[in-house]
Chains A and B, each alone.
Chain A
Amino acid sequence: MSSAAIETKETVAALGEKYKYGFVTDIEMTRAPRGLSEDTVRYISAAKNEPDWMLEWRLAAYRRWVQMKEPNWARVHYPKIDYQNAYYYAAPKNTPLKQSLDEVDPKLLETYNKLGIPLNEQMALAGVAVDAVFDSVSVATTFKAKLNEAGVIFCPFSEAVRDHPELVKKYLGTVVPVTDNYFATLNSAVFSDGTFVYVPKGVRCPMELSTYFRINASETGQFERTLIVADEGSYVSYLEGCTAPKRDENQLHAAVVELVTLEAAEIKYSTVQNWYPGDENGLGGIYNFVTKRGDCRGDRSKISWTQVETGSAITWKYPSCILRGDDSVGEFYSIAIANHYQQADTGTKMIHLGKNTRSRIISKGISAGKAQNTYRGLVSVHAKAENARNFTQCDSLLMGGNCGAHTVPYIESRNSSARIEHEATTSKIAEDQLFYCQARGLGAEEAVALIVNGFCKEVLQQLPMEFAVEAQKLVGISLEGSVG
């Protein structure tokens, strides 16, 4: 790991940048007019050739949104967002309806190569299918054929609206209702693309599914929508990765992810989020205001969230599980790293509705520089949830004296048979640990990366193998400049 950290640092140094994904690809864009109105919503819907029911759904969301207030309860601070001064839709010109990668703009593919996404035949070896979302449009989906064989649907959201309207209608908005919260409602009105996955009964998805999100255009919000449905007895593992170019203005990212597991189905959802965090002085960076929720609708079903959050100026995100089915299981494994002026307010909600439901929360927060890192979590046991169990562990690691770690656990239990455990620790990287590592030959930053990776180990272990290495490197890079 340490050698990997060094290698990555060299790469970063060679690029002359701390944030190596901060490049901009020069591609002609089609944009919706600036600002947000019913016309914007209609423009987006028309641009995507959507059926009327989809447009109506969006408009209903928009009408609701204009009556809503932006939430202010999170421990994050930012200037007021002017929603009328942003673009809500940007698409690379001439991209729709690509049949194969050969038809994709070579510049776009070059971007993906820079990002290190192997969007080509090498992917077969890794066994990963990628749906890449560039700004608002999904440009290429690999490995459709192999997935088709298994009956798995994995396609851009816009395509699902067209080709699988019955499934989309049945599940869209059933986990995160249109009216859920300010940002989710905004997303419902203007979402541009995203990913749709359906795994049929009894099917174990033959490969890891992966989506890569990137914000490229300036002043553009990204609002992708992900819907994953695992039918009875099926299994799927899904990973999303995110980057964005360096820009001095703040950009809004307000995604919605909905997961549904039917009886005995399982979804494992992993995120490696590395949106541009802003510079050392807190200028620029992504506002990552995301609603992610899973519904364990069937008995004995399971949803597991794993997230590595290293980027974004502000993270506001609570991947949650509704444990509706009896004996269903929800898990949340999180690493949140905040350096410089980053602010993270993240955690989970575990809503126990069914009998014998179990949840497990492991949260590792690392704060450095002048960053503020908050774990906010809710464990709620409803009256009918006999024998519900929860275990929560929140560990915070502080580096230096100017950052903050906060733990805000909410626990509600309406059933006396519930067992809820909460453990929390806060620690600092000790001087003697650093000295010990250095005295054995490790440089200061390498030592920090090693110690922090050790601190995060329980969560890193949850990631799919091929992404765990990448995540370990990211942990090291994110904390550069935090010692000395």
Chain B
Amino acid sequence: MLEIKNLHVSVGGKEILKGLNLSIAAGQVHAIMGPNGSGKSTLSYVLAGRAGYDVNQGSITYNGEDLAALPPEARAAKGVFLAMQYPVEIPGVTTMMFLKSALNAQRRSRGESELDAIGVLKTVRRKAAALNVSEDMLKRALNVGFSGGEKKRLEILQMSLFEPKLAILDETDSGLDIDALKLVAEGVNALRDPSRAMLVITHYQRLLDYIVPDRIHVLAGGRIVAEGGKELALELEAKGYDQIVKDAA
């Protein structure tokens, strides 16, 4: 589904990703682990299409299509979803209004009919209940005054609502206590599906106790330096990033 080859990306003229290779098939969950500054967030932003993240070399192919050539909204409509590390506040726009606008924008882009307010409301309420997203949160302005946990739950609610084909979770565990982490992980696991690929980006092994990946990649210095099964996470936890990076070199 996703094929990244020799990807070089620079931000503000500084090269962050330096020849990254990664391949994810439908139905798989891959994890990217790496120390701070290794390029994890850059990878997530370049996949979602954020302005200022320039692809200098290499390719990102998504379902046979050149992903880098598409604007972010077109990627979203084609099933790419990024659960962000720092969800953004939009004052005056209720969460419900945002969800409806975004869902219908995606549907329109795919040539599907738009859902009416009641249709969206029903779907959202059903999915929100499972993630413990309250009715009150849906009425409040998007992410405004939300706690860290509420923001992350809302990201997963959006993932559940948009039903993406490729879901990227950028440090979804950051800022969560253990109960919130379990809830979010359950939400993510419920979305595991043979037709869906997931890329879980995390600094800590902890999240991978709950979302068990098929494959782990270690990102350091803008490249994948080590790969393995889920047991690699434990090894990382035991040895630390420095040792793994040295071993790989």
Contacts and interface: CB of A to CB of B under 8 A. Distances in A.
Contacts of A453: 92-93
A3 B101 contact: yes
B73 A455 contact: no
Contacts of B49: 438-439
Given A6-B108, A442-B101, A442-B102, A435 B92 contact: no
Interface residues of B, number: 35
A440 B162 contact: yes
B91 interface: yes
A440 B50 contact: no
Interface string B69-99: 0011101110000101011111111000110
Contact of A440 (B51, B97, B158): B158
Contact of B73 (A431, A433, A438, A454): A438
Contact of A455 (B51, B75, B89, B92): B92
A446 B105 contact: yes
A441 B90 contact: no
A2 B73 contact: no
B104 A443 contact: no
A430 B102 CA distance: 18
B93 A451 contact: yes
A146 interface: no
A450 interface: yes
B85 to A, nearest CB: 11
Contacts of A456: 92
Interface in A333-373: none
**Most chain A CB neighbours (cut-off 10 Å) among B48, B50, B105:** B105
A430 B24 CA distance: 33
A207 interface: no
A70 interface: no
A446 B102 CA distance: 10
Contacts of A430: 88
A334 to B, nearest CB: 16
Contacts of A1: 97, 101
Interface string A142-174: 000000000000000000000000000000000
Contacts of A446: 101, 105
A450 B101 CA distance: 9
B209 to A, nearest CB: 28
A378 interface: no
Contacts of A438: 49, 71-73, 76
Interface string A408-432: 0000000000000000000000111
A460 to B, nearest CB: 9
B88 A441 contact: no
Interface string A442-480: 111010001101111110000000000000000000000
Contacts of B17: none
A138 B77 CA distance: 50
B211 to A, nearest CB: 21
B88 A3 contact: no
A457 to B, nearest CB: 4
Contacts of B108: 3, 6
A440 to B, nearest CB: 4
A5 to B, nearest CB: 9
B84 A436 contact: yes
A437 interface: yes
B147 interface: no
A453 B142 CA distance: 13
Contacts of B15: none
A441 B51 contact: no
Contacts of A442: 73, 101-102, 105
Nearest to B161: A440
A398 B61 CA distance: 37
Nearest to B115: A3
A454 B90 contact: yes
Contacts of B106: 440-441
Nearest to B158: A440
A443 B90 contact: no
Given A6-B108, A432-B88, A435-B50, A443 B93 contact: no
Nearest to B84: A436
**Most chain A CB neighbours (cut-off 10 Å) among B52, B93, B104:** B93
Nearest to A457: B92
B72 A450 contact: no
A446 B84 CA distance: 21
A444 B76 CA distance: 13
B56 interface: no
A176 B87 CA distance: 51
Contacts of B109: 441
Contact of B93 (A3, A431, A439, A450): A450
A3 B104 contact: yes
A443 B92 CA distance: 19
Interface in A219-266: none
B123 to A, nearest CB: 16
B138 to A, nearest CB: 15
A366 to B, nearest CB: 13
Given A1-B101, A450-B90, A454-B92, 5 more contacts: A432-B86, A436-B88, A441-B106, A443-B73, A451-B93
11 contacts: A6-B108, A431-B52, A435-B48, A435-B50, A436-B90, A438-B49, A439-B73, A439-B84, A440-B105, A454-B90, A454-B92
Return the 4 tightest CB-CB contacts between A and B, nearest first. Answer: A454-B92, A2-B101, A454-B93, A441-B106
Interface of B: 48-52, 71-73, 75-77, 82, 84, 86-93, 97-98, 101-106, 108-109, 114, 141, 158, 162
